[in-house]
Amino acid sequence: MSYTNKKGCDMPSKAMKLNPCTTAKCKRICGDITEERRLQIFNYYWSVGSLQRQKDWIAKSAIKKQVKTHTTDKGESSRRNCTYEYYINEGEGRRQVCQSSY
């Protein structure tokens, strides 16, 4: 389903990328999420209609948390004060996934 951008140019339809977490490096085991489920989430996100509703969906699925530990040299303050955890609905509960598979 192609679309027209703000400048009036025709753009090709959005396509889902391969799951980046298929390796054993991911500690959240995001590779276990089926391609059908990923496709459902992808299609839902692009079908909600407006950009504001897409942003609301992302804000609902991501939780902002304080950083647990600060590691800096003595006398320096860290600029990083928060981190984000990303979740998808999985059955009756939520499942934490990494940012790259989100």
The CB density around residue 21, as the number of other CB atoms within 10 Å, is 20
What pLDDT shows up at residue 89? 81
Number of domains in the chain: 1
What pLDDT shows up at residue 75? 61
Closest CA relative to residue 98, chosen from 15, 23, 44: 23
How many Å apart are CA 41 and CA 16, to the nearest integer? Answer: 10
How confident is the model over 29-63, as pLDDT tens digits? 777 788 888 888 888 888 888 889 999 988 888 98
Please check the confidence at residue 93 and state whether its pLDDT lies above 90: no
Eight-class DSSP state of 8: S
Q: For the chain, give me the number of helices (H) and strands (E)?
A: 2, 5
Eight-class DSSP state of 77: -
Q: Which domain holds residue 92?
A: 33-69+80-102
Q: Of the ranges 38-42, 77-81, 88-92, which one carries the lowest mean pLDDT score? A: 77-81
Domain-embedded: residue 98 = yes
Domain-embedded: residue 89 = yes
pTM: 0.69
